[in-house]
Amino acid sequence: MFRPEGQKASRAGLRMLAIATAGVTAASGAVVAGAVPGATPASAGAVSADPLEVDSLAVPAVEPVAAARSNGRLIVARLPRTVTHAYGMVAVTWAHGTAPDGTKVRVRSQVDGVWTGWRALPIDLDEGPSADENVSGVRDGTVPLWVGDGSGIAVKVTAPGSTRPKHIRVETIDPGSDPGTSASGRVASAGRGPTAPTTFPAMPKVITRAQWGADPSLDDQCWEPIYGSSAKMVFVHHTVNSNDYSRSDGKAIVRAIHAYHTQSRGWCDIGYNFLIDKYGKVYEGRRGGMRRPVRGAHAGDYNLNTVGVSLIGNFEIARPTQEMKRALIRFIGWRLGTSYVNVKDTVRINGTRFDRISGHRDAMSTACPGKYVYRWLPRLRDRVAHYLSDYRSPIRARAKDLGRSVTGPVFRGEDRQDGGLQTVFGNGVMFAKTGVGAHWLTGAVLRGYRERGGTHSRFGFPVTDVETTSLSRVRRVVFEHGRMYRVGKRQPDTLWGRVLIRYRKLGGITGRLGVPTSSMMPTGDGRKANFAKGSITWNRDTGDVTVEFS
């Protein structure tokens, strides 16, 4: 059943922990989450770290009469140093629309027994569901910070005046363990692949949701994926978390972001369509199909018909690695190239014109994707265009001849399949193979072809479009290994092999048997097809073909 963005099913593993201020200890100044004096720390006796867990701790308000100042600003909420369950990622959230302009959030983490200094968490109001979506339960918040192995947290929220965000919580996320290693789980870095001109921009290696360990209980009952008409452009983001993560941390970071978006922010799934780490590994984000134009929650009013890819790290303070840059070139080359998009062009999305490859800040008031990535975007457009410069698609050429009014936009980009190519458009599918050309199928004929297995089937690829015949009520498609006939508005019938050979020798649709009235049907020892004025039967054991006239 469809649920609007923000309406979620059960929140597996979510624990709401209130802060008991009576748990402050005089010696350390630390608060034990949910503790009273003399109680054991919240981390003691905790369940195994294997499952993903989200802890939500209230950040107490500071009353105006007691408000202190930090750098000339009022501290409006504060959580002193607090012992927590083990976590890898932290962020702060509050009730939607309640933060005054100028609100700032800083956190300290206890990592390996040592408290870090205060670190600012940028406030992230510009990602998430668009303004016109029917949402409920959505919270505003900061970007999440990856700390790796935290065991304590402190929070300080400041504002220009005494007005504060309401219902402030700090979210600590333990991403749990990686799924079991298997051959399919060991995915090579896309950042090691070539970015020289290619004759076909294949999909790079992608770590799927199953491989990084997406928990389906977080969003599988939330809503069915919503699709646009086509992938028209890419918005480049950065996650703004730490750049100091290891090669093995990527899956855990993506799991933590998924949990933060769904369990802490109230979204129905991870907001990004894809993510790329500094080692050049590409991760599947929002569910719904990697080749389809799935609406994300990454650019507010510009989520539809755009692809959100987020670079894992903070590129306001660091430069992206060469592996990350190469992976991004190949990713965009695949995602936009196979949708036949001119990557140096512009496009209008929801009334605003953008470069086909844009940064998040081009759509909203944000520093995302960070100054070092944003400065590189003009070069990125050139590099992607260069990567695609040798790509020549027979499907693209044929679709251009037919015209967009016939085909509609590209819905699922060009893909290699069964020794040929296939592109799904809004109004049908185009197939191409060396030696047979590019051919367009739509409507009942396309449905019939798909029901029989499409290019995987005995028929192979089409070698004609849907053709008219000498009988005005009969249309036909010729395949590599068979034919399909549609008489009037009946469902199409298929013939192949010895039966088709004999039918054609007898004159086909204008011959003595007339038009087909059935597809090939199994018999006890072969197959049979019926026609308006008879039948043809093939015996598997003897090889005999028998024609009966009515």
* 545 Cβ contact list (under 8 Å, min separation 6): 498, 499, 502, 536, 537, 538, 539
Q: Which domain holds residue 261?
A: 183-387
Q: Which of 131, 206, 209, 139 is nearest to 171 (CA)?
A: 139
Q: End of a domain among 330, 362, 387?
A: 387
Two tokens at 510? 């204008």
Does the residue 5 lie in any domain?
A: no
Question: Over its length of 550 residues, how does the chain's per-residue pLDDT go in tens digits?
Answer: 222 333 333 333 343 333 222 233 323 334 334 332 232 333 333 333 378 899 999 999 987 655 566 666 789 999 999 999 999 999 999 999 899 988 999 999 999 999 999 999 988 776 666 655 555 678 999 999 999 999 999 999 999 887 889 999 999 999 999 886 544 445 567 767 678 999 999 999 999 999 999 988 886 556 788 899 999 999 999 998 889 999 999 999 999 999 999 999 988 899 999 999 999 999 999 999 999 999 988 887 899 999 999 999 999 999 999 999 999 999 999 999 999 999 999 999 999 999 999 999 999 888 899 999 999 999 999 999 999 999 999 999 999 999 999 999 999 999 999 999 999 999 999 999 999 999 999 999 999 999 999 999 999 999 999 999 999 999 999 999 999 999 999 999 999 999 999 999 999 999 999 999 999 999 989 999 999 999 999 999 999 999 999 8
Pairing type for strands 104-111 and 145-159 reads antiparallel
Question: Domain check: are 453 and 539 in the same one?
Answer: yes
Structure tokens at 498: 């010895």
392: closest CA among 200, 203, 231? 200
In whole angstroms, give the CA distance from residue 258 to residue 175: 9
For residues 92 and 171, the answer to whether their CB atoms sit within 8 Å is: yes
Measured between alpha carbons, how far is 218 from 8 in angstroms, rounded to an integer? 8
Residue 8 in any domain: the answer is: no
Domain boundary among 118, 147, 174: 174
Quick check: is 449 in a domain? Answer: yes
Same domain as 200, residue 142: no
| Contacts with 247 (C-beta within 8 Å, 6 or more apart), sequence order | 279
Q: Do 399 and 373 reside in the same domain of the chain?
A: no
Q: Are 375 and 523 found together in one domain?
A: no
Q: What is the DSSP string of 212-246?
A: HT--GGGTTTT----B-S---EEEEEE--S-S---
Beta bridge partners of 338: none
Task: Indicate which CATH number applies to the domain containing 283.
Answer: 3.40.80.10
Query: Does residue 39 sit in the same domain as residue 155?
Result: yes
Q: How many domains are there within the chain?
A: 3
Verify that 326 and 471 share a domain, yes or no. no
280 backbone φψ class: left, alpha, beta (φ>0; ψ -120 to 50): left
Residues 261 and 408 in one domain: no
In a domain, 1, yes or no: no
Does residue 399 share a domain with residue 270? no
Answer yes or no: do 403 and 370 share one domain: no
The span from the CA of 207 to the CA of 252, in Å, is 12
Residue 4 maps to a domain: no
Question: Which of 174, 191, 225 delimits the end of a domain?
Answer: 174
What's the rounded Cα separation, in Å, for the pair 80 and 170?
12
Judgement on whether residues 276 and 155 belong to the same structural domain of the protein: no
Q: Which residues are 534's β-sheet partners?
A: 531, 549
Asked, for residue 366, whether it belongs to a domain, the answer is: yes
Q: Is 402 part of a structural domain of the chain? A: yes
DSSP code for 163: -
pTM recorded for the entire structure: 0.85
Please report the DSSP string for 59-93 in residue order.
--B--GGG--EETTEEEEEEEEEEEEEEEEEEEEE
- Say yes or no: 383 and 399 in one domain: no
